[in-house]
Amino acid sequence: GAGVSQSPRYKVAKRGQDVALRCDPISGHVSLFWYQQALGQGPEFLTYFQNEAQLDKSGLPSDRFFAERPEGSVSTLKIQRTQQEDSAVYLCASSLDRVGEKLFFGSGTQLSVL
């Protein structure tokens, strides 16, 4: 497709369960970002890749959060031992090259931890 694709669209997890969220960026986009958006808040930065290199992971809230982009295209955000406070919409975005360029967002994965 032409846009950023995220799957699953919705995910319900039991507390303590591991989850994996997938992002397919726009073809050819070098930069890929993960953001977390809690209810009523703006997107909060989690991590950033340039091709396969993870250049900034300063926003990951704990070591339970892990992201990878092994071939510089598809990315996976993994959350281990999910907690209720992890419930949020996880947004993936890509941009053509520089970080400051406009981002193209996917529709997000809504994670609910029960």
- Interaction residues for another protein, span 62-101 (CB under 8 A): 91, 93, 98-100
- Give the side-chain half-sphere CA count within 13 A for 90: 32
User: Would you count residue 54 as binding another protein (CB under 8 A)?
Assistant: no
Binding of another protein by 1 (CB under 8 A): no
Q: Is the peptide bond before 43 cis (omega within 30 degrees of 0)?
A: no
Beta carbon of residue 1, minimum distance to another protein (angstroms, whole number): 13
Instruction: Find the angle CA(17)-CA(77)-CA(21) to the nearest 5 degrees.
Output: 70
Take residue 47 and report the two structure tokens written for it: 């991590």
Binding site for another protein (CB under 8 A): 4, 33, 35, 40-45, 48, 56, 59, 91, 93, 98-100, 102-108
